[in-house]
A and B are shown apart, each in its own frame.
Chain A
């Protein structure tokens, strides 16, 4: 009742995304996977959202279209240049703390080398890197459940619009009483 056929098709395709790279080269793929793990570290007690695979798929479909912000090239090429540039700073050999420090410097535009000439670090970080990674993650049902989003609701829709009201098929929050939440959520589907 709450997921129409078009929604099911779209989400099914997302869940079935190829886990091997088709757009990125082997080394770029490794750097991308590490990068996605740092930007959105995922819990180990559930299957991970395949962020890198979703970005690979997106770049294969539309990596040379869309909007290009000067001086960056089209999205797919920009990603390749940025991953190579990041690799040039030894990103793959750093421990997590140092890798995050490197990414923070990238975010603030504090990285300099010829490899960044067409992908200014701060611009790429804000306009390509963060949007593509969070779009992949927060477009996945695992993330919808994580944040408590009620989810697709066509044609059923929502009924309880007021403050502190949830529709009967929406999960209640755990807050300080996880046992009570578990009981309340037993019939939620």
Chain B
């Protein structure tokens, strides 16, 4: 791997190597730019470093200090953070879905949220690029939305839990399909086909999973980029001319300064606004790129409620990827009394997570808990990914407490809105019908759960109403960019990683075009 010196002024210094930053690093390097990508986490080698163990693999999460408040404080950890080269894609559930086209114009077409400054047809092109780059395994034809080509790799075998979703959906007259997943169903390069070990959400120890870590990062390095791990960015420096000059970062026990012509922040919806706010100067007293006052605002999550039940049959839901089948029915139906949509997928929680659900949703403990847990192999469930509306009351600010680097920590404030609650109730009702249709007994709902994040540096049409433009370029500082899920104006009812990658691919192409026109 090529390594740059601190006083080398690289073309792009990217902070974060997840779905946004890792993808962008690969594509920008392939476009011929000099690139350094920093990550606060370790550069893991899956074959040597990854255990089949829920607790051990917490090493992949961002567990630095954070304060949560609001009426419904978020639970930070595995579902919404990552601290490793490759970011949270190292432990993502591999679900790789496209947005419904109308969501890019949800204000104009559907009457809620905000429009994106992006066109769905252009995104369709970049979704395809991302799907090819990750060799997504999926169905030949996808039941919802505009036509798309068949997925690059055939769909995976469906496990018992996935079949039960299908049975329930058919009973309700809904379409279902095999979930497009970023784990290969046949060999690809150094990746063997998925062996269905089921620890997907805790890091793939065989490299069957196609994450940033084993797709875009190697491509970035091959194209001459440097991946600098264990490097925590503390501050972006800006000169008197109002341009970013580089980044102060902590590595090997000391602070350093890396020069760069352009700085890209790809820290996701908590660390991105935190870094911009922590980089305040007398000329930018409210943080960088924040003349709109919107840095940290409109924090969104996705509703992740579930319904569980018990079958007489053995389901053994721990085998295979947890979400092998999906129905997006309610993402594409508009005859409902709330805004936004949701999908649901089959489930396969491992023992600790299942115990968390039993204690969290049902409050079980004592002998009742231990006895109930013994039905583990007969449990079945459905879990939603639902759209949460952008709301100014939900935000990331700086707290006065500090972390191990001496940096002010983020305070994360979240409460469900009225529309969110109605959507969740609707989803729980529908998933309950599906569980009843398959003959599940002792059905219960997990009402309290959320997962992916978005917002906090939204893209838009004007400097007054957004932080970055359609090219992820900040309105205030021409060589400061944000490229990750924080640019989402709305979050849709599907997992966000493929959309983040598509945005990064588009941004890389736009940067190349702008460079050719002398517009950088």
Task: Given A6-B49, A66-B66, A147-B376, output 5 extra A-B contacts at Cβ < 8 Å.
Answer: A7-B51, A67-B66, A70-B67, A150-B318, A154-B199
B205 touches A154 (CB 8 A): yes
By a CB distance below 8 angstroms, the chain B residues around A105 are none
Known: A67-B75, A153-B52. A158 touches B196 (CB 8 A): yes
* In the complex, the 4 A-B pairs of residues with the closest C-beta atoms, listed nearest first: A157-B195, A152-B52, A10-B56, A134-B355
A137 touches B195 (CB 8 A): no
A139 touches B314 (CB 8 A): no
B66 touches A155 (CB 8 A): no
Q: Mark each residue of chain A from 127 to 142: 1 if its CB lies under 8 Å from any CB of chain B, else 0.
A: 0001101110111000
Q: How many B residues, CB 8 Å from partner? A: 60
Q: Mark each residue of chain B from 317 to 335: 1 if its CB lies under 8 Å from any CB of chain A, else 0.
A: 0111000000000000000
A10 touches B51 (CB 8 A): yes
Cα A39 to Cα B367 in complex, Å, equals 8
Cα A71 to Cα B249 in complex, Å, equals 31
**Residues of A46-71 contacting chain B, CB below 8 A:** 62, 64-70
B163 touches A163 (CB 8 A): yes
State the A residues within 8 Å of B (CB). Answer: 3-7, 9-11, 14, 38-41, 62, 64-70, 74, 100, 103, 107, 126, 130-131, 133-135, 137-139, 143-144, 146-166, 170, 173
A152 touches B53 (CB 8 A): yes
Cα A130 to Cα B352 in complex, Å, equals 11
A158 touches B198 (CB 8 A): yes
Cα A131 to Cα B352 in complex, Å, equals 9
B318 touches A67 (CB 8 A): no
**Residues of B271-319 contacting chain A, CB below 8 A:** 313-316, 318-319
By a CB distance below 8 angstroms, the chain A residues around B48 are 5-6
By a CB distance below 8 angstroms, the chain B residues around A162 are 159-160, 163
Cα A100 to Cα B366 in complex, Å, equals 9
Cβ-closest chain A residue relative to B404: A65
B373 touches A70 (CB 8 A): no
B64 touches A65 (CB 8 A): yes
Cα A91 to Cα B55 in complex, Å, equals 30
**Residues of B97-138 contacting chain A, CB below 8 A:** none
Cα A153 to Cα B199 in complex, Å, equals 9
A154 touches B196 (CB 8 A): no
A70 touches B197 (CB 8 A): no
Which of A66, A154, A166 has a CB less than 8 Å from the CB of B197? A154
By a CB distance below 8 angstroms, the chain A residues around B67 are 67-70
